[in-house]
Structures are given as C-alpha cells and as structure tokens.
Structure 1
Amino acid sequence: MTGRYPDAVDVVIVGSGPTGAAYARILSEEAPGASIALFEVGPTVSNPPGAHVKNIADPELRAAAQDRSEGPGAGAATVSSPGAVTAGLRRARPGTYLLEEGYQEAGEDGLPVAAFSSNVGGMGAHWTGACPRPGDSERIAFLPELDELLDEADRLLGVTTDAFDGAPFTALVRERLGAVVDGGRPPERRVQRMPLAVHRRDDGRLVWSGSDVVFGDETRANPDFALYDESLVTRVLQEEGRAAGVEVRDRRTGELHTVRAPFVVVAADALRTPQVLFASGIRPPALGRMLNDQTQVVYATRIRDAESVATAEVAAGADDVGADQVIDGAISERSGVSWVPYTDAMPFHGQVMQLDASPIPLADDDPVVPGSIVGLGLFCAKDLQWDDRVEFSDDQRDWYGMPAMRLHYTLTDRDRAVIERAQAEIVELAKAVGDPIGDRPFTMPLGASLHYQGSTRVGETDDGRSVCGPDSEVWGVPGLFVAGNGVIPTATACNPTLTSVALAVKGARRIASELSGTERLLTSNSDVILK
C-alpha cells in the first residue's frame, strides 16, 4: 500500500457512475478473486455510497448532498424548480455544475449548459431514472447480442415499470397519447409506461436506483474491491503499448501515487473520459469527435375534466387523489411517467410526467388536482458530425489541473427542422391530453438534457472513426477500456444510461474472461467498499 492506495490491482476503474459500477459488479460476479480499485474524483455524499440523493428523506441533508456534488461550482445559483427552466438563465440543476468557459465557440451553437457532477455515484445520484430501450436507428446494428445486454442492464439498474401504477390519471394519459401516436407502430413502440430505475419497498416508499443499486451486495461483499473517493486519476500508464495502471492524486493530501494494473477502465463521463485519454497521450483520431446531445422541447398541459375523472376514480375505489403527499422533486408519489418511444418516422423520444405543480405559474385562485398537470418533453436525435467535438489544451488547465476543454457544436439544418417538428408535435400531444398551459413550447438551452454521447464511440472496425472496439477496448491500447454514454455510437433520442450500462456489461465480461486465465496480482485488497 502507498498511503491509502494499493500498489497494484488487477483492474482499475476510473469513475463511480452507473457504468463504472457495472464493471465492478460484473467483475465481482464473474471474476472472483480479482482485485479491483475504483477511483472517484468527488466525495461520498450518501449512505450507502453512490445512492440517489432522492432517497435522502431530510430535505436539508439532500440539499447538502447536492451541494457537495457540485465540485468547483458549489454555492452557485441553480435551477431548482421546473418553472425556472423557462427563465433563460445559464444555470445548472442541483447536484451539477457548468463548464466555466469553452462551452460555445464564435459562430457555433455550443452547449451553453453542459454540466458535470463530482461525487460517488456521478450523475447517477441525480438522474430521473428513465431507462427506455433504443429503437430503429438508435440501436447499434453490429451488436447482435444487444437485447441480452439490455436485459442485463435492466437487472443491474433495477428497472421496473409498475412503481407508479397507483398514481392517478396514468392510464388516461397513455390512452389519450396513444390515440394520436400509436397508429402504424409495432406494439413495442407504442405509448407505454416508462421503464424506470426505481422500485417500491415493502413499506411503500420509493427507492431510486443509483450506483449503489448497480454495485449490489455482490460488489459490497467482495473483499477484493475498494472504492477510493476524492481521488483524481491524472493519466493512464502504458508499458510496451498496453495499459499498465494509473497515476492518481489524493485530493485530501495532494500527493501523487502510481497504482499498477493490467486492465484500466475509464468511466468518467462523455467529456472527462476523453480528457483522461488525452492527458495520457492516447489520442486516436476520433477522440472527442462526433459529440452529440439531445435538444429538449418542453410544454405543459392540464388534464381535461380532471376533477370529474378524479371523482369517478375515487368512486371506483381508488385512493383520494387530493390526499396529502410528499413531494420529492419533479416526480413524486402522485406522479405518472409515460413513454412515447422514438421511431425513425417520428425522430424524437417522449418523456411525459404528471407533476404536482405546473411548470408555468397558475393564478392563485386556480386549484390544481394532484397529478392533473402533465409535463411533456420531447428529446430530439442529433445529426452526427465529425466536427462536433470536445477538444483539449496542452497548455491550459481546468479546476482539477487537467487539460482544459472547449466544445465545438453546431446544429444542422435538419436538426433545426426536427426541433421545429417537435415543437409542433408537442402541442398536438398537449391538446390530446388536455388544455395546454402557456402560449407555446419552450426549447431548453443546448446541453440541458445531460445526455452527451459519441466522444469515445464504439466501432465495429478500427477505421479511424471510432475510439474503441465492440468490447469497448481502446483501439491499439490492449487492456484499456472506456465506458459511459460517450461510447454510444448512434444518434439517439432516448435516455442513454440503459444502453451505456449494457455496453459496460459487454466490456466487463471481456475483462473477466481474460482474468480467468491469468494469475491475480493482489488478493484481499479491502473488506469495505469505501476507503
């Protein structure tokens, strides 16, 4: 041991979000005895480590956890309510922080609200938990086992579709949406319950999945796994052309250490994973390229005849929809979450949430039946462009002393046409459900979806247009793997976490198979998850 770090392990994982946690879980299950060290730049903000902050019942403690997740942006004003998103202010959501500069180049659209989280669990401690499956051109055509990998990602994330079955109006909302959307669609792409990484405990309380759920008891009970928070991996080491470990800075002491390992997984995020590779001198032509996000159009509507529908539901034996409730963010106990799947013919993905307050202010004398305000969001797929990219500086440094980044990002004419179509479509959906609130939809600032992808994209062959192969191993650097939403190579509109975890499963299985035939470097690394 060097300080609190081991000298050598079998596998180093950089980043503790859902994909880093997936590598730890699969390796714990399929490579027993392999020693694993996971490094996270941010602090531990929840118990167990990596848990979703929504599971913190005390609002003050939850706010403190979010503040500690904001890294160098802690203390800055955030967008803290649904209504605030229409204010046009450049602010991050609680638990995240913005890129200070370099988010928009002259003459380009940029990603003005590109954001990060720095905490154990990463963005998985703050996300909505939506886990829809990709469809049509969103799917990765050269992975014949994709559906099995997605099934495994469902298992790791704890995905369910019934957690909100008791919410009022959910069947009605889906029925009204389906009436205008479902025609000509196959059954699996019709309006349906949103798959969510959330479950309901025996006592009825909702539990949101974070990295803690992905780690599972299998990882927590693994004596050869340890998680080190406040630990900045500055570069990946190489020997004879293959991964050989990492250089890590203890952010508590400032000391720099070397941890040797034949396998390294960089699972930061779609902006910081290529940053680590760049800092390591690993710079394939596609590194940082094909960066894409999902432009989000939002609107709200009020369910028609909500009071009479609620009265009928109560008369039929449903819970009193006017009962007191605990509000826990935008989605609460009274919420329903519906899904309008992406298709190539309708190139956006719909996330429809029944809210407990209107995202647009209502008159004081305008009573709201809980669950009757419906927020609609359409996420648009982006044209992939080689020049949409994150680039890094050899001279300038960011808050952590890593190469400073600049984002190049431009919407195409087709992108703008899809956004206009989404604006028109969301109005029709709002009218189908009820009475629209507000004059017109609002298009969120670019970067607001937090669904950045493509910067370390997987490819079928090493043709210079991808960073890694089908198993997520970086071309030309054996033993080095990348993970996270940046690995996704297709233009998607659906939430990407399920797909990125599926790809992590494939990569972890590859490492496990190689470890099964090699001698372990270190055993009994730790008997606790956090160091």
Structure 2
Amino acid sequence: MWRAVGQRSFSKRILWTVNRSLAYYKDISSPKTLSADVCIIGSGPIGSAFARELSDLSKKKQKDLKIIMIDAGAQLSPRPGEHLKNAFVYQRDYNSFTGLIASHLIDLSVPTDNSPVVTLDPSAFSVDLTKHKYKGFVRNNQNPMQNPFKNVDGAAAAYNVGGMAVHWTCAIPRQNNELEQSNLISLNQWKKLYDRAEEFFKLDKTGHVFSDSIRNAVVMKEIRQRFHDRGVRELPLAVQLNADDHTQVIWSGSDTVLGDELINDPTNNFQILPQHLCVELVGGGTNNSTITSARCRDLTKSPDTTDGYVNVEAKHFIVAAGAVLTPQLLWKSNIRPMALGKHLCEQPKTFCQIVLKERFIKQLRKHKFPGLTDEMNKKISEHEYDHPHDPIPIPFTDKAPQVNIPVTKDYPWHCQIHRDAFKYGAVPENVDDRIIVDLRWFGLIEPRPENLVKFEPDKFDMHGMPQPTFEFELTPDDARNAHKMMSDMVDAAVVLGGFLPGSEPRFMNIGSSLHITGTVRMGKDEDTRGEHSVVNTYGQVREMKNLWLGGNGVIDKGTACNPTLSSVALAIRSSRRIAKEMKIHEEEEDN
C-alpha cells in the first residue's frame, strides 16, 4: 500500500499515510485471538520437527500440549506437507515434475530492469521508471536496491504447507564432522540427534529401495572404479518402498516428519493455520524480552477488516520460516541482533546431464554388464520380450540412480549423481529419460559477515513484508575451489557418457541449491549481545526469553552437503530445551 502513493505530492502522501494508518488500527484493533502453549511459524520439515519432538515429549509426561502452526501458503494435499512426487505420473516421469517445482518457488530479490523496449508499439503505454517521480514504484519482488552482481539470484521461497519438502530431493546426508559440523555441539550429541532426525525422515538404512535398480548398479560400478578412494556410496535418502508396488517409492515430506500420531491427533491439540502470514511478533515484559503474540494476516480475507487478522498468544514462539524469511520477520518485528542476516553462506553449484555410453547399453542387452544380479538380467529379458522394438534394454519401471561422493578435505564439495527433478534440468520430450543421468556438485565455502541479506524499510515484497536485498561475493579461494569442482564433475561425467546438448557443464545461479545458511546463526553463550550470532546453541534468540529459531539459517559453518538433516537435528535439540523450560522434559543432553 505504501508504494501506490509514489506519484503523489509530499503533503498528499503524508495525509494519505496518516488516514490509512488510522483506518488500519481501527479495523484490526480487536482481531480474533487464539491461545496455545507453542506457536510455530513455518510448516516445513524444521517446523514439523519442532512440533513432533515437543508433542512426543509431552506425551511421555502425559501432558497436554497445544501447538498452533502457521504458514503463509495453502495446503496442497490431504496430508499436510505430503511430497507431491509420490503421485504415479511423477514416479514414471520425473521430467514432468520440473514444472511443478518451478511453479512453487517465488524468487526473493529480482533486480529491476529499466532498459526501454524499443520494439514496443508506439501507441502502447510505457513509462520511464528511472524518472524521480516513478523511481520508488516496484512490484512482484522487483528490487531497485539489488546489485545484480551481488545477488543470490537463485534464492527462492516456497509458500505452501510443508515448505520445500513437498518437492525436495529427499537427500539427507550427515555433515562431515571435521569440515561441516558445528563444534559448538559434541560429536556424541550430534550422533544422537542425527539418529533421531533420521527416524523422523524414515531414512532408507537397509539400502533395499534402489537395490534392484539397473541404472543405479551401472553408475555405481563405474563411479566406484574411477573414484575408488573417495568413499562412493548410495545417496542417503528419506524414502521408502511402496509396500503395494515395489516399482514405486514413497518420498518423505513434512507429513512424514510430523508423523501419523500428530496428524491424526484426536484431541485437536495440534492445529495448522494455512494461508496465514505472520506479519509481526509482538513483545512485552521487561525490556520487551518476551514475545506475547504473533500477529497474523488471514490471506483469504480482506486486510481492512477485523476478520482479516488473528493474534496467536503462546508461552513459546518458534520461527522456522527459512533462511531469508526468518530474519525478515525478526527485522520487521524490530528484533535486530547485530549478526542478523550476516554470515550468509550458499554453495557454488555445477550441473550437467549426460547420455549413457553406448557400450553400457550393448552390455546390458547382451547380459554382460559386470556386477548385475541374475534378477536384474531377468528383468532386462522380460522387458525385451514385452517390448521387442525398444532399443533400450532398461525396464520402464527401473528406478533412477542415486549415487553420492561425500565431501572431503582434498575435495571440498558434495557430489550427487542421480536423475531427479529440479527447477531446471528438464530434458527434451524426444529424449528417453532412461539414458539420462544428472550430475550436481555442491561447493563448500566459509561464512563471512560481509555476505548478508538486509531488508529495505521502504520497499516491500508481494506479501507487504520488507524486501530482502542480498550482498554476496565469493572470495578468490572460493573461486579457485569452484573451478576445481567443475573439473572434478567433468571427470566424473566423461566416465559415464557424453553431454546432453543444452545441458553441458555449467555453473548454476548462486542460490539455486536452496541451501542458504548462517543468516540467524548460532554461537557461543558469551556472545550475549548478538554481535557474531543471533541465537545460542539451543536456538534461543539473544536476550529473548521465549523466542526460538530453527532452519538452515541457524547453521554456523559452511556446508557442502544438503543441510536439512542437520537443521532437523538442531530443531530436536532446541525442542528438548523448550520442553525442559516447560517442565515436560528433565534430562539435559551433553554438550
């Protein structure tokens, strides 16, 4: 609403603003109020982990615990936060899932383009946005303050119940305990927290899910032979076999983390409010060190009415809205530790797609590829019998490869060799998906306070919240490692086949990994003023009694591997501290 007055005179603008503000406070001065023990803002896997752990701990003590979860997005499936790739059509065609992912990701900061459209019909409306009169007007997350050379231009948010977990890859590796894991927590405790987090996700520990995959066997053998000293393994995944059809799998989503018991809770002590945007955390108590309520806008109703807002009162508040939207809400609520938004870390990423070598296909057809089981060769024979004109001897139901080369000191990047759907990487319709393999390498960089996200006081995103602006650059060392990483990926690619035209090796936009960390990082207890960290090791915001943060933004070190499992582990640790303060948990984990 503030941008709409950019063309008015200064005096008219002031008058309009005062009148609009008076109307605003008159209309929402007595909104609907809900009460809970815990209010969780964000329904992705991290927010869901908080709800699950707190609920389980309360049940052990036979205590009722009322939890209200808030999300600005709609619920897309009957089960809240279910992985959408579980649908049959996407199981058979990953390619078609690419468009769905793209449709659910909203870019966070888009530099404005003021260049004229010289080919526009002269009779059509056009405007020079560089003129002072119009300079402040932007829409759709365009950001005139964003330097395109310092943008994290792949950064995006998912506004839906379940967050990114409705379309993620489900990769959940543990961080390398020397290079990536925070040393603020002991190795022994990390192990316990990881064990619990893997339970939430239903990690495939048996290795049975992809054990019958012909393509997985081919890729695994060739990569292990070439990189024999780098611990090549199956990519750790949050996935299960479909018990009724072993050619399909069940990908874990936020609903998996919540668990059936919480989703189907007959006491109604767990409630999700979809399409409710938390616009402010309201403080109270001594020095405003206690949050009393979360002011939320019901996006399905007019903001100019009392029904358009809901206040959620609670004893404890948890914000797990992502590495950018979490600090955005704190900034909007005037909770601004010095480290807020700083130490932003994101992975340089390389990507390519290859077409499997002809030699492999010929070996499969002749049942001479070394290492294939009798059952795999039997499936090839059956497929050829049923489809004698198919030039590719790989069953249509064969599962995609899932191979991982973990990060090491000598090779500081995390490697995934698989076939999956991202916002990018769809193959042409006339290319058979069975012979395509994706390679994605994720680089490790160290966090620096100069890399940050800040928030504009007079520019707003599509929800009317302060517009994020990024300032991010790689150091010369980061750039050199990224170059080596590209060389390493190409080395792996040529082992497997030739590059798919249009998907030759390239660097992806910074932020396209969707693995931003560090923006609300945890730190040592002595950092009480928040100069170097936003939260302590339990996720508690500095100088705030009942405000806790979760998510990738809490991670305090650079990470090459997928950070979700580590963020859930930290959420479990935070939950236990919250439960201890609520007197529903007694044992304190060792540090």
Question: What's the TM-score once normalised by structure 2's chain length?
Answer: 0.75
**CA separation of 1:407 and 1:137: change in aligned 2, threshold 3 A:** same
Give secondary structure in 2 for the equivalent of 1:130.
coil
Query: For the residues of structure 1 that align with 2:475 and 2:228, how far apart are their CA atoms?
Result: 29
Match of 1:147 among 191, 212, 215: 191
Match of 2:218 among 172, 178, 181: 172
Match status 1:260 vs 2:316: no
Match status 1:446 vs 2:510: yes
Match of 1:338 among 403, 411, 416: 403
**Structure 1, 377-386 or 496-505: larger mean CA deviation:** 377-386
- Show CA shifts across 1:273-298 (max 9, x none): 00111111110011111111111101
**Structure 1, 425-434 or 308-317: larger mean CA deviation:** 308-317
Unaligned runs of 5+ in 1: 74-97, 326-330, 519-531
Superposition pairs of residues 446-485 of structure 1, within 5 angstroms: 446-463=510-527, 464-485=531-552
Give secondary structure in 2 for the equivalent of 1:140.
coil
Unaligned runs of 5+ in 2: 1-28, 109-138, 391-395, 586-591
Give secondary structure in 2 for the equivalent of 1:153.
helix
Paired position in structure 2 for 1:115: 156
Give secondary structure in 1 for the equivalent of 2:34.
coil
Match status 1:56 vs 2:87: yes
Paired position in structure 2 for 1:379: 442
**CA separation of 1:99 and 1:27: change in aligned 2, threshold 3 A:** farther
Match status 1:317 vs 2:375: yes
Paired position in structure 1 for 2:393: none
Query: For the residues of structure 2 that align with 1:301 and 1:456, how far apart are their CA atoms?
Result: 38
Paired position in structure 2 for 1:89: none
Shift in Å, 1:118: 0.3
Query: For the residues of structure 2 that align with 1:453 and 1:424, how far apart are their CA atoms?
Result: 26
Shift in Å, 1:104: 8.0
Matched-pair contact (CA < 8 Å) for 2:169–2:420: no
Shift in Å, 1:202: 1.0
Matched-pair contact (CA < 8 Å) for 1:336–1:371: no
Query: For the residues of structure 2 that align with 1:126 and 1:195, how far apart are their CA atoms?
Result: 17
Query: For the residues of structure 2 that align with 1:209 and 1:315, how far apart are their CA atoms?
Result: 28
Paired position in structure 2 for 1:295: 348
Query: For the residues of structure 1 that align with 2:81 and 2:504, how far apart are their CA atoms?
Result: 38
Shift in Å, 1:386: 0.6
Superposition pairs of residues 344-359 of structure 1, within 5 angstroms: 344-354=409-419
Query: For the residues of structure 2 that align with 1:103 and 1:296, how far apart are their CA atoms?
Result: 26
Give secondary structure in 1 for the equivalent of 2:399.
coil
Paired position in structure 1 for 2:11: none
Query: For the residues of structure 1 that align with 2:554 and 2:144, how far apart are their CA atoms?
Result: 21
- Show CA shifts across 1:138-178 (max 9, x none): 11112111111111111111221432222113233223222
Shift in Å, 1:515: 1.6
Match of 1:226 among 252, 271, 294: 271
Shift in Å, 1:307: 1.7
Match of 1:212 among 252, 255, 260: 255
Match of 2:297 among 238, 249, 261: 249
Paired position in structure 1 for 2:200: 156
- Show CA shifts across 1:354-387 (max 9, x none): 479x9697997xx86x644322110111232211
Match status 1:507 vs 2:583: no
Give secondary structure in 2 for the equivalent of 1:278.
helix
- Show CA shifts across 1:119-141 (max 9, x none): 00011111111111111311111
The residue type paired with residue 164 of structure 1 is F
Query: For the residues of structure 1 that align with 2:97 and 2:439, how far apart are their CA atoms?
Result: 26
Query: For the residues of structure 1 that align with 2:99 and 2:352, how far apart are their CA atoms?
Result: 30
The residue type paired with residue 262 of structure 2 is T
**Structure 1, 224-233 or 2-11: larger mean CA deviation:** 2-11
Query: For the residues of structure 1 that align with 2:427 and 2:89, how far apart are their CA atoms?
Result: 26
Paired position in structure 1 for 2:3: none
**CA separation of 1:214 and 1:404: change in aligned 2, threshold 3 A:** same
Paired position in structure 2 for 1:35: 66
Give secondary structure in 1 for the equivalent of 2:449.
coil
Query: For the residues of structure 2 that align with 1:112 and 1:63, how far apart are their CA atoms?
Result: 19
- Show CA shifts across 1:290-327 (max 9, x none): 111111101233444222332316893312267889xx
Shift in Å, 1:226: 0.5
Paired position in structure 2 for 1:422: 485
Give secondary structure in 2 for the equivalent of 1:138.
coil
Shift in Å, 1:68: 7.5
Matched-pair contact (CA < 8 Å) for 1:379–1:493: yes
Shift in Å, 1:437: 4.5
Matched-pair contact (CA < 8 Å) for 2:141–2:460: no
The residue type paired with residue 458 of structure 1 is M
Shift in Å, 1:508: 1.0
**Structure 1, 131-140 or 252-261: larger mean CA deviation:** 252-261
Match status 1:408 vs 2:471: yes
The residue type paired with residue 294 of structure 2 is V
Matched-pair contact (CA < 8 Å) for 2:31–2:311: no
Query: For the residues of structure 1 that align with 2:97 and 2:419, how far apart are their CA atoms?
Result: 23
Matched-pair contact (CA < 8 Å) for 2:31–2:310: no
Shift in Å, 1:423: 1.1
The residue type paired with residue 183 of structure 2 is A
Paired position in structure 2 for 1:76: none
The residue type paired with residue 163 of structure 1 is V
The residue type paired with residue 378 of structure 1 is W
Query: For the residues of structure 2 that align with 1:361 and 1:69, how far apart are their CA atoms?
Result: 20
Paired position in structure 1 for 2:171: 130
**Structure 1, 252-261 or 400-409: larger mean CA deviation:** 252-261
Matched-pair contact (CA < 8 Å) for 1:43–1:120: yes
Q: Percent identity?
A: 29
Give secondary structure in 1 for the equivalent of 2:35.
coil
- Show CA shifts across 1:376-400 (max 9, x none): 1101112322111110122222211
Root mean square deviation of aligned Cα: 3.2
Matched-pair contact (CA < 8 Å) for 1:168–1:371: no
Count the aligned residue pairs. Answer: 479
Matched-pair contact (CA < 8 Å) for 1:103–1:114: no
**CA separation of 1:265 and 1:70: change in aligned 2, threshold 3 A:** same
**CA separation of 1:458 and 1:309: change in aligned 2, threshold 3 A:** farther
Query: For the residues of structure 1 that align with 2:159 and 2:490, how far apart are their CA atoms?
Result: 37
Q: Which of 1 and 2 has greater Rg? A: 2
